Amino acid sequence: MPWLPVLHSREDTITYFTDHVLLHEEVLVAEANHPWWASSPSYVITSIIHISPQRISIRGSGIKLLAIAKELHPHGLTLWTFQENARARRFYEARGFLASEFTDGLHNKEGQPDVLYTWRPCASSSSL
């Protein structure tokens, strides 16, 4: 996403994921063709899905991760993505997520307009 500003060094990002995300968030990981998950003590309704740019559209990792997230949270999920990220928006919308809120970006670190997506099983005709 070349339009995003670089806000943190690689080292700062690794520290944040090591000291916060891996300790306090639910993390789903796809390794090659075998998705697996680990959860923290906290219950999380909002998920982050990040696929390495080199792996997008390869082997369906994003689809598998999203299916696992839906199984883990059968009552629903919410997630944010940037409005400009058309590929991610198409991906989520094709899997039953509905845009529920649009912002001007004033409340995210990147300062970029974003959109909140919501998935509820009753609102979705697709389970994936």
Domain at 116, CATH number: 3.40.630.30
DSSP code of residue 8: S
pLDDT tens sequence across 43-54: 333 345 555 555
Closest C-alpha among 1, 11, 69 to residue 38: 69
In a domain, 3, yes or no: no
Band (3; pLDDT cuts 50, 70, 90): confident
- Domain range for 36 is 10-123
pTM of the model: 0.69
Predicted local distance difference test score (pLDDT) of residue 115: 95
116 exposure class (CB count in 10 Å sphere: 0-12, 13-18, 19+): middle
